[in-house]
Amino acid sequence: MAPRNLALKVRRAGVAAVNGYYKAMAHCIPDGFRSVCEANKWETERTWSRLTDPDYLWFQHIDNGSYVYWNKGDGQWWMDGPDGYGVYVAKTGNPLPPVSGWVALDEAKGAALPYVEVIEGQSLEKEQEKRRQEQIEQQEQQQKIDQ
């Protein structure tokens, strides 16, 4: 089992919604996955348990609900958009998503493939703090302009 203090940084993907930072998750189901199950009248909890392995982390985008998880049914890592539908897959049994080797699914055909970097959770926290500070600075600059 991978340490739970890991995070992902996804970049270069041609589908913009999946680019960004992801935090490791454990005992919950992604909202997008739940939505797809409900739309197809599948039992969400049973479907999630059938497809995922509790020894593998899944990762949720910190801004938009996209997520990355390992599907034990087909032996692939899936990168799903915020709507819960698959965008990219990568065939591997590694306990962490691969850096490269992703394949685009239907809506992403022809789009650039993602590059996935596994980072420590502390790096994610530092990045989030940096982004918060940048937002505060932008707001302060805008207030000065508006005055």
DSSP count for the chain of H helices, then E strands: 3, 8
* pTM tops 0.75, yes or no: yes
Q: Which two tokens stand for residue 22?
A: 């992801």
pLDDT in tens, 82-115: 999 999 999 987 899 999 999 999 877 888 999 9
- For 91-127, the DSSP string reads E---SS--SS--EE-GGGTTSPPPEEEEEEHHHHHHH
Q: How far apart are CA 52 and CA 63, in angstroms?
A: 23
Residue 103's DSSP bridge partners are: 89
pLDDT in tens, 46-82: 999 999 988 889 999 999 999 999 999 999 999 999 9
